[in-house]
Structure 1
Amino acid sequence: MIQTSDLAKCGVWLLLLAWLTLGASPPRPASAATTLPGTPTPTEIEARIKQAQSLKGLDEAARTALIDDYRRAAAALDAAAEYAAKAGAFTRALEEAPNQAAEIRKQVAAGQDDVKAAVPGPVGLSSEELEQQLAKTRTETAAAEARIGELDKAIDGAAARTSEARGRVADLRQLLEQLDTDAQAPAPPNQSPEATQAAAWVLATRRQALTAESRALEQELASQSARDELYRAQREQQALNLRRVKERQTQLQEVQDQRRKREAEQARRETEDAQRAAVNKHPLVQDAANENAKLTGTLGELAGQLDQFAELLAQTERERKRIESDFRGARERIDVAGVNQALGQVLIDRRQDLPDLRKFRKEIAARNDRIAEATLSQIRFREEQRALRDLDAVLTEMAAANPAAQTDEVRDELAQLLEKRRALIDKALAGTDAYIRKQGEINDAAEQLIQSAADYDAFLAQNLLWVRSTDPLSFKSLSALPGAAAWLLSPRGWMEALRVLGYESLHSPLPGVGGLAVLLLLWKQGAIKRAILATAEPLRRVRTDRFGYTLEAIGLTLVAALPVPLTILLLGHALSASIEATSFTRAIGNGLTKVSLGLYFLRAFRLTCLPGGVADRHFRWESDVLKKIRRHLRWFTPFIVVSSLIAYALYLNRDSVNSDSLGRLVLIGAMLGTAVFLGTLLNPRSGVLARLLAAHPDDWANRLRNLWYAIIVGAPLALGLLAGLGFLYTAGTLFESLVQSAWLALGLVMLQQVIVRWLVYTRRDLALQAAMERQSTRRAAAASAGGRGAARDGEATDAPPPVEEPEPDLAILDEQTRKLLHASIFILAVLGLWWLWSPTLPALNIFRKIVLWHSATTVDGAQQLVPVTAADAGLVVVILSVALIAAKNLPALIEILLLRRSSVNAGTRYAVRTLVSYAITAIAILTAFGALGLRWSQVQWLVAGMSVGIGFGLQEIVANFISGIIILFERPVRVGDTVTIGGVTGIVTKIEIRATTIRNWDRQELIVPNKEFITGRLLNWTLTDQLNRIVITVGIEYGSDARLALTLLTETAAANPRVLKDPPPLATLEAFGDNALTLVLRCYLETMEIRQGVTTEMHLAIEQAFREHGIGIAFPQREINISARDTIDVRLHRVEPVDHQPPPGP
């Protein structure tokens, strides 16, 4: 919507243009603005700029700063001259505008009575001249309407411009005081004389510019009333001119339509005569006559449609002008007196009278289709017109194709008919051009109507939501309850409803067809419910489960919920849309139509929660949760439907007494009932979410359960209080949006459950396929082993073990899809809430009127104070909230998308995710600062001071932060790398702002500052690839076959499938030890994760191979020398084994 300040500015420039066109007095010279002492002239400034460019002894930075100061001074002088010219124009307006307005009104009064007499009649104009005159009048009409629109904008924006100018005058006083203070401040001690003088000139010229602007604004305010009168007089003059042009256009259009009708009628008669004359003639003559007859019928249809288009265009223009007139009147009233209760009720009625814009958009689309069809017809006509330019060639071709048509008689008759067809085609082309043009004009008018209605609706939405629409609830309003109840229960009204239903059942096929559909659905209710239960049986086993059963059950549930809502919808349509409808039946019918959709949602949700239904068997909801939902829906459904029907009927009847009494009480009751329903059902301790919250104690939903529960229950209660205080329209509008938001939330929950059900089915199906493949592999291996005659159980066969195909990692798949699902649901929720609440959002503009503080900014070289409002503060809250959610979810979504590319490893994904999170946070902070009026030019000194403080006090933290950024970009380490730093080896699990986390093999987490990775020594085992080497040292006994041992080591390594063949394993004899021959086996692995497992496998395999080949693994041997003075008697005694036999019996 166009801002009123912009409109006022357009009016100012329009007045200045009027001075030039109406021969205003010559302007005063620009020097009329007082030149302050010490202010330079433009010539002096230009000379100093040239001097500075050639001045020696200045560095380049100082020279640039000096020239910039001179140029700022020159720009300020130009601004002062411009403001002085404006002040002069406003002064002349104050003196001359009253006389000019009076003169214009005299001319208007003299020309009011001779509008039609002054328009010459279009007598004797040819068709071409008539079309040219019409095109000229259309251009003049558009120009006159544009001029009237500019004048309307200037008139409508006058009040806002006055307020803006007064505020700017106050701001200028503060800026001038600040300039005076700056001028008295001493110059910096090290500043050059040239820079000092340039700074003084900047202050002086800036002061002159602000002074001139202040004078111009004062003259603008003084001449405001005189200029407004002139604008209104000029509008009256332009309106008179428009009436004259319109009258001329109407006369020309009538003449053209009448002439087109006469020509079409004449062509029809001539064509019919030609058809009758060609009855017994040659077939080619008959075909040509028939083609002419068809084309004549097309011309007649075009003429009739063009007449209808003229009326439709006039009707659309009238509706647009009515809306724009109402819009201007409402805006003027609100600008003058604000929105009060009486005006608020009037504007509410006006908003209800606004046309349905969806209807106009559909009509525009249909007309565009007809324009496309007419364009194709036009192309065909032109092709035929080109073909008929040479009639002799056409006749010759026709005679060659049909020898019987070569006679002179047939040729002459065909020539006459083709000549007639050529004339008809010319008229058809002209008619099609007019058809396309008229359709386009109607579309343009409809587009303008839609824009005007949308602007008007946004304006009303902005102002109506905060105004009291009726008196607070009192005994006086309650005294109208009997009358409202009598109207609602009136026997006469219900007899009218029965009469309307009877009439519709006899004269409209819809009730009959709809009634048959309802009876069919009621007859099949039992079969549908049995079919829903039957879809749950195959879900018991994995082999018979199919996701299609869930979709089938949902579809059947939606069909089963149809009968009662469809019946209510049919009754409502019949009562409201019938030509026999009365005000009572329309109110009841519209109420039934509105509640039918909500009833359908409630019934569908209740059927979803039935035992054996979709929520029970397909979504696996707990049975006690479903019982609670069914129990509360049993009383809430009839309660909310009946109360909503009564409230809608009383409100739509347009009787404020009934809607303010009984309607308000019923609406408050509906809000209280909704609060009870939601409070009972969603109670964090005893509601349907209790177990879910208890299962996730650390989740934000559980931590904030008291907050969101208070909001959910308190919102309907607060709206009921608003309705009781007289804000009935506000409460009703917000309550309807809340109900729609609840349906959106329920729909998203159902969608999420359907997707989860698909994920579970997919996971189970993948697991089943993997299990079947493993079983098939085992059977094939067993059969192969049996065929080769495996000798012993538990021993491996000579054949190598089968290589298993990699299975899908179901846990990772589920985690990825879960993140993507949450992000998708969040995006859908944001879009849905924006769509639902968009009609209400304009009302938030009222917070722009609450100014918190002012922020100084420079616009076009001039310093201005920009207000920071409560709306800006709210925008900051929204920005930070969205950024918090986005920083948490968007990087994960990006990681999922990158995960689909096999070339992107985990470290790259983590780096991208972290950097995106940092970027979102930085952008959000900068945007929030900008919304609060904090710009870089204002906070750079603060940032500089903080930088110094950080350099001394937080240098370690900053160093670690910068090192973290370097790590993410340079990537010496990545998440998932195996590193050794400070004697600790482990896997990098997290890289955060200050430190990096390493988890060692004992599952201990080491927090290492990021600076250590940049400035210290680091061993990264997996920087370029995951390839690594294990070294196995074995000692064998002296006397063993060393060559055989080396061969066994190499064969053992080659037999392990997880040991790489390239580079090949290497076994070497490293040393002759004290007790053993030292052998070393070196082999390479593909990843670090399998290092410990392969090491164990290799140790076991080497021990078994050495044992089978009689090679002993050495153990330490020690010689003991015993020294003693006396001889030690050493004896070797062999002990025979004792035969343990049972003792003899008694």
Structure 2
Amino acid sequence: MLPDTCSRHPRRPWINLLPWLLLALLAIPPAGAETTTVNLPTMAQVEARATEVENSTALDESAKTTLLERYRRARASLEDTRNFDLKAEEFARSLKTAPRQRKAQERELEAARAATTTPEAVIPDDLTSEAIAQRLNKALADVAVEETRLGELEKLIQTTENRPAAARARMTEVKQALDQLGDLPALDTAELSGQPGDLVQAQRWAHQARRQALWSEAQMLEQELLSQPARIALYQVRRDLAALRLQRLKTYQRALEELQNQRRNAEAEAAQRASEQAQREAADKHPLVRRETQTNAEISASLARIAKQLETLNERQARIESERRRIEEDFRGAKQRLEAAGLSRALGQVLLDRRTQLPDLRQYRKDIATREDAIAEATLRQIRYREEKRRLRDRNRYLDELTLDVPEDERAQVREQLDEVLEQRRRLIAQSLDIEDDYVRQLSDLNYVTDQVVSIAETYDDFLAERLLWVRSAPPIGVETLNSLPAATLWLLSWQGAWEAIAATLLERLQHAWSFWAGLLVVVALLWRLTALRRAIRATAEPLRRVRSDGIQHTVKAIALTLLMALPVPLLMALLGMQLQASTEATPFTRAFASALTEVAGGLYFLLAFRGLCITGGVADRHFRWSTATLARIRHAIDWFSGYIVPVSLVAVAAYENNNPVDTGELMRLTLVACMLGFTAFFWHLLNPAKGLFKGILAERPEGWLNRLRHVWFPFVVGAPLALAGLALAGYVYTAGMLFRSLVGQTWLVLALLVVHQTIVRWLIVTRRRLALQAALERQAARRAQNNEPNTPSEVLAIEETEPDLAAMDEQTRRLINASIFFAAVVGLWITWSDVLPAFSMLERFALWHYEGTIEGVTQLVPVTAADVGLVLVIIFVATVAAKNLPALIEFLLLQSEAVSAGGRYAIKTLASYTITAVAFLLTFSTLGLSWSQVQWLVAALGVGIGFGLQEIVANFISGLIILFERPVRVGDIVTIGDTTGVVTNIQIRATTIRNWDKQELLVPNKEFITGRLLNWSLTDQQNRVTIPVGIAYGSDTRQALEILTQIAEQHEKVLDDPAPLLSFEGFGDNALTLVMRCYLDSLDGRIAIITELHQAIYDRFAEAGIEISFPQRDLHLSAATPLDVRLHRAVRAPLDSEEEPPKAAGTD
């Protein structure tokens, strides 16, 4: 490079030395910098001093940590210095030796090119098959080694060519780092004043070692830049020599493979002819001989077939390897162009063409799966052949087994004939095993190479997709660009040049296309039964009127019939498109029109299917209960939109698939813009919150986020196609097309998920109606059974069981359904936008800030990019949705398990929510580079604040966690705290909610449950004791009374037999004999009702037995301080039929 430049300027050779002089000046250290290693510590000194500090007992831990960190830095800098010095010596040595090595390599390359062949590449004609196989295996190994060497040289050349920019940037950073370090005397006087001597020495060593490491790195970079041209020239010659060797080796390999295939085919054909001859000769022999001969013929036929397939596999592998090399070279060239010139419109068009030339990876993956099946079949054949080979080792025993049923007089002759057949089989099996081994190896190698092509093509496609989305692919719309429209229109309307070819292709294909005629028969049948399908859809709504006949199967049937009703026209378009695509003689216009038919058919099917759901009496009308006005608006929007979008889309897709931007580029752009404007109008009519599809959903949940944000999402959805149209007119046609394709796919996804959501809600409604009906029937049967029971007092009221909360169950299920639909939408959107997502990796190039991180044991600055911030937003969004909905899913799954109580489900749900939040925080901090060392000061400050003002809140939070883990209190438990008894309904971070029997909710701080006294009625056992004191009058029979109480307790169905009821005579009261009934209940459910029943039974049975329940007696003391007029009168009772009132007592009013 340098001599060439000097020859162009013979009078001014010093000009060519200016770049190298500038590099040398840039590497000169600043004034005052040390250029020698005077007083630089050695590695042994640093390690010895570090060992002394570790073993010292006089230093505290803080001082040890500080000193060891300084020594660690010094040791690392010394290690870097040694490595930089070694690399600098290597680069300086290459600067001297590389020219000589390059000349020697060039002479070797010229000699290799002059030699037409190498001695080892000569193939003798008398080689045996085994020798050919040995040579081929060695050639394959040599090819693999040379390919690896060539790939390493290509990477080395690319790395070396791209290295100068990074090296110069690093040299600038090194110079700045040297300037920032400053001089050592300034460090001694400023930073280390007043510090211990050990720390001063450690800091000085670290400083000296760091400066020396930076100086050595600068020297290494200088030598690297100076030696770069010589090294590149040497690497290029080595690459050319390796490429020539590889070419010769592959030629030698192909010659061996061709010779091996010829030998295999010849041997297989000879074996097949011998087997056929033996089969003809065995025609009049014993049936056993004919059968075994037929087996040999089958083995020989398989041998010949595998030999032919091996020849095809070799050709296929050569084509795939050529494709792999082409893609690798294109990929490497694209990278070099981008790094050299950046991404321009012209280069963007070239890369776009390269992307369209990438192979169809779906076919490659399908071929890999097919070959995997072939490998499995070949392995099974090998197992059978080896088993047969094992049996043939003892041929006499094998013959005895075969001739066991042969008559004695024929056995000797048959045995002799079979011996010849089995000898032939032995040779055939040996050949088959060899060829099957080669077949399996060849299939595996071919799969490996194909997998490499798929991997490289995917990487290349992602590389192109990442960059093509941001480049202008066409000039902005203008007068010049519109001049091509007349030619494009003529291209579209030319019957002689285009449509006649399509008609001819169809006529030629349809003569033998039985699949097309079968599909056409389906289309005709569906069109003929279209009216019957509409009647069947409306008939599915008849069973919906009655709860007993209603069922989700009617809705599923209606949807299936609707999908069939929408099928004819899209199916016909798809059939025509596939026939045109399958033609081998199709013109470019024919292939473009075929692609347009197949692609537009899918979108049209979605539109027609959704319109079929919205017909009068259809699924949306009778099953989903959408309003009539909404359905009419949807039908009207789909009718005009389908009539507009289908022809425009056909033209747009055909123009795009034509791959001729000169003829059809502007036509494609304008029709694409027309499609976007059509979708804008369609979204306006379909999604209008006041009149469109979501009107009913928004009315059902006016407080939901969908309704609250309707002024945000509706303008965004309507404006998205308009924005894409503006991008296309501005020249970003490829970008607009890719985004628009994903937007259209997202539209179909939303419509499909809407139908799925409504179907699930419909199933929920059917289930709720059936549960309500079943509950009503059970209540009615219970009332009838209760009223028909004999000897039941009319005063006892029937006790109804508690109804399940269907409304609450529906709300929980709705939340679960919405969460499931949401996650399905996320997965669907990920798939829909998968072609566009690689482009957003460009955000990784925009670094917002840096943080120190350790990567593979090396501490370095790690950038936080715009992509990381976007990932954090995604993490926060997903965590928020998961924290709200995933616990509901867990609770729903645990609801099926009877072993988990309601309190346990609540604890698991709450802990799951806490765990999701904690994981989200950890992922966010990790993505943004926030480590513990960076936030520990914040934690310390929070600790101080907690100690002063937030201790109660933290105590309640910790107490809440203890409650969730230890579970002294669970949701649903009945507790008494203070003077309040009620049911625990909610356990939150700060407080727990208790609802008392008056339906009042009391918020109790969680700390009260841990530090205070708590009575939990249902902690470990819900059994509870009922104590009923009974007072009977003096003179009553206490034994009879106790017997009656015992019978009442034993006869009640809710009173437990174990523990048994306990009856006691407690004492003699002032007014009564005190008896006490103590009995146990299984749970607290219905406790008050059971006590009422027991009281009622005691009162009734005591009344029947004549036992008087006592009442208090009181003595009345009258004051004698004043005279009292006391008169006693006996009341006269009037007859029952008398109308006279009884006389009033004297002295009363």
Q: TM-score, normalised by structure 1?
A: 0.89
Quick check: 1:506 aligned with 2:502? no
**Given the superposition, is the C-alpha separation of residues 1128 and 659 from structure 1 closer, same or farther in structure 2, using an over 3 Å criterion?**
farther
> 3-state DSSP class of the match of 2:992?
strand
> Which one of the candidate residues 580, 583, 590 is aligned to 1:578?
583
CA distance in 2, matches of 1:184, 1:807: 85
- Correspondence for 1:139 among 133, 138, 141: 141
CA shift, 1:649, in A, is: 0.9
How far the C-alpha of 1:238 sits from its partner, in A, is 1.2
Greater mean alpha carbon deviation, residues 214-223 or residues 643-652? 214-223
User: Within 1, Cα distance between the matches of 2:332 and 2:626?
Assistant: 56
Q: 1:535 to 1:285 in 2, by over 3 A?
A: same
CA distance in 1, matches of 2:1038, 2:284: 122
Listed as ranges, the matches of 1:349-388 within 5 Å are: 349-388=353-392
Separation in 2, partners of 1:987, 1:285: 90
Q: Counterpart in 2 of 1:736?
A: 741
Q: Which amino acid aligns with 1:265?
A: E
Name 2:693's counterpart in structure 1.
Answer: 688
Q: Secondary structure at the match of 1:866?
A: strand
Moved more, 767-776 or 964-973: 767-776
What is the match of residue 11 of structure 1?
none
Aligned residue for 1:112, secondary structure, equals: helix
Partners of 1:1040 and 1:1111 within 8 A in 2: yes
1:615 corresponds to which of 601, 617, 620: 620
1:974 aligns with 2:970: yes
In structure 2, the CA distance between the partners of 1:1044 and 1:653, relative to structure 1 (3 Å rule), is same
CA displacement 1:805-850 (0-9 Å, x = unmatched): 9987755654554444334333322222222222222111110111
Q: Residue 638 and residue 155 in structure 1: after superposition, are their counterparts in 2 closer, same or farther (change >3 A)? A: farther
SS in 2 for 1:507: coil
Letter in 1 for 2:151: G
Contact 1:1068 1:1081 in 2 (8 A): yes
> Once the two structures are superposed, what CA deviation does each residue of 1:354-397 show, in whole Å capped at 9, x if it has no partner?
11111111111111111111222222222223333455555565
Q: Note if contact 1:116-1:247 (Cα within 8 Å) is conserved in structure 2.
A: no
- Quote the Cα distance in structure 2 between the aligned partners of 1:768 and 1:960: 46
Q: 2:156 aligns with which of 154, 160, 182?
A: 154
Pick the aligned partner of 2:480 from 465, 476, 487.
476
Per the alignment, residue 601 of structure 1 pairs with 606
Matching of residue 927 in structure 1 with residue 923 in structure 2: yes
Identity %: 50
1:38-66 per-residue CA deviation (whole Å, 9 max, x = no partner) reads 53212222332443455443457765765
Decide which of 712, 715, 731 is 1:710's aligned counterpart.
715
Aligned equivalent of 2:794: 794
CA-CA distance at 1:598 after TM superposition:
1.3
Q: Larger deviation: 129-138 or 84-93?
A: 84-93
User: Aligned letter for 2:301?
Assistant: G
SS in 2 for 1:865: strand
Residues 157 and 235 of structure 2 are in contact (CA less than 8 Å); yes or no, is this contact kept in structure 1? Answer: yes
Corresponding residue of 2:18: none
Task: Give SS of 2:737's match.
Answer: helix
Shift of 1:164: 4.6
User: Using a 3 Å threshold, how does the CA distance of structure 1 residues 1076 and 223 change in structure 2: closer, same or farther?
Assistant: farther
Write the distance in 1 (CA, Å) between the matches of 2:534 and 2:229: 75
For residue 840 of structure 2, the aligned residue among 828, 840, 844 is 844
The answer on 1:88 being equivalent to 2:89 is yes
C-alpha separation in 2, matches of 1:1047 and 1:398:
94
* Cα offsets for 1:760-798 (capped at 9, x unmatched): 334444444455555555555666x4xx5x5x983669x
Which residue pairs with 2:456 in the alignment? 452
Partner amino acid, structure 2, of 1:359: Q
CA-CA distance at 1:898 after TM superposition:
2.6
Measure the CA separation in 2 of the matches of 1:358 and 1:201: 62
- Equivalent of 2:129 in 123, 127, 132: 127
Closer, same or farther: CA 189–622 of 1 in aligned 2, 3 Å: farther
Query: Which residue in 1 is equivalent to 2:42?
Result: 41
Q: Give the Cα separation in 2 of the matches to 1:177 and 1:888.
A: 54
**Do the aligned residues in 2 keep the contact of 1:536 with 1:549 (CA within 8 Å)?**
yes
Q: Which residue of 2 is the match for residue 553 of structure 1? A: 558
Paired with 2:509 and 2:701, the residues of 1 have a C-alpha distance of: 57
Say whether the 8 Å CA contact 2:161–2:232 is kept in structure 1. no
Shift of 1:538: 1.8
Name the CA shift for 1:212/1:410 in 2 (closer, same or farther; >3 Å).
Answer: same
Any idea what the Cα deviations from partners look like across 1:490-513, whole Å, max 9, x if unmatched?
222222222222222223223322
Do the aligned residues in 2 keep the contact of 1:1052 with 1:1101 (CA within 8 Å)?
Answer: yes
Of 730, 737, 747, the residue aligned with 1:725 is 730
Whether the 8 Å CA contact 2:627–2:696 is kept in 1: the answer is: no
Q: Counterpart amino acid of 2:491?
A: W
1:14 match: none
Deviation at 1:522, TM superposition (A): 1.1
Check the 8 A contact 1:647/1:659 in 2, yes or no.
no
Match in the other structure for 1:431: 435
Query: Which residue identity lines up with residue 825 of structure 1 in the other structure?
Result: I
Aligned-residue Cα RMSD (Å) equals 3.5
Q: 5+ residue gaps in structure 2?
A: 1-33, 1142-1149
Residues 296 and 1035 of structure 1, relative CA distance in 2, 3 Å threshold: closer
CA distance in 1, matches of 2:177, 2:1082: 73
> Are the equivalent residues in 1 in contact too, given 2:375–2:440 (CA < 8 A)?
yes
- Out of 636, 642, 656, which is 1:637 matched to? 642
Structure 1 residues 685 and 40, CA gap change in structure 2 (3 angstroms): same
Question: Which moves more between the two structures, 269-278 or 875-884?
Answer: 269-278
Separation in 2, partners of 1:314, 1:129: 23
Counterpart of 1:496, as a letter, is: A
Deviations 1:1009-1067 (A, max 9, x none): 22232233333333223233445566666777666666666655555544444444556
Q: Secondary structure of 1:999's partner? A: strand
Measure, in 1, the Cα distance between the counterparts of 2:969 and 2:903.
Answer: 8
CA distances 1:399-439 after superposition (whole Å, capped 9, x unpaired):
66535786887666554443333222222222222222222
Query: Which one is further off, 314-323 or 948-957?
Result: 948-957
More displaced stretch, 507-516 vs 201-210: 201-210
The structure-2 alpha-carbon separation of the partners of 1:933 and 1:99, relative to structure 1 and needing over 3 Å to count, comes to: farther
Q: Assess, with a 3 A threshold, how the Cα gap between structure 1 residues 563 and 152 changes in structure 2: closer, same or farther.
A: same
1:136: Cα distance to partner?
A: 0.7
TM-score by length of 2: 0.88
CA distance in 1, matches of 2:1076, 2:400: 106
1:590 paired with 2:595, answer yes
1:137 deviation in Å? 0.8
**Distance (whole Å) between structure 2 residues aligned to residue 1118 and residue 711 of structure 1:** 89
In structure 2, what is the Cα distance between the partners aligned to 1:582 and 1:936?
66
2:7 counterpart residue number:
none
Q: Greater CA deviation, 1027-1036 or 934-943?
A: 1027-1036
- CA gap of 1:194–1:710, structure 2 versus 1, over 3 A, is same
Which amino acid in 1 is paired with 2:248? Answer: R
Q: 1:268 to 1:863 in 2, by over 3 A?
A: closer
Q: Is the 8 A contact 2:633 2:685 kept in 1?
A: no
Provide the residue aligned with 1:258 in structure 2.
262
What is the deviation of 1:641? 2.3
What is the match of residue 878 of structure 1? 874
Aligned to 1:317: 321
Aligned to 2:9: none
Decide whether the 8 Å contact of 1:187 with 1:196 is kept in 2: no
Match for 1:855 among 851, 854, 857? 851
Q: Name the CA distance, whole Å, in 2 between partners of 1:745 and 1:593.
A: 22
Q: How is 1:200-211 mapped onto 2 (pairs within 5 angstroms)? A: 200-211=204-215
- Structure 2 counterpart of 1:18: none
Contact 2:1032/2:1109, CA 8 A, preserved across alignment: yes
- State how 1:289-328 maps to structure 2 within 5 Å: 289-328=293-332
Q: Determine the structure 2 residue equivalent to 1:15.
A: none
5+ long unaligned stretches in structure 1: 1-32
Instruction: Quote the residue 1:331 is aligned against.
Output: 335
Q: Residue type of the partner of 2:320? A: T
Q: Distance in 2 between matches of 1:555 and 1:118?
A: 73
Matched to 1:97, the amino acid is A
**Secondary structure, aligned partner of 2:121:** coil
Please state how far the C-alpha of 1:316 moved relative to its aligned partner. 1.2
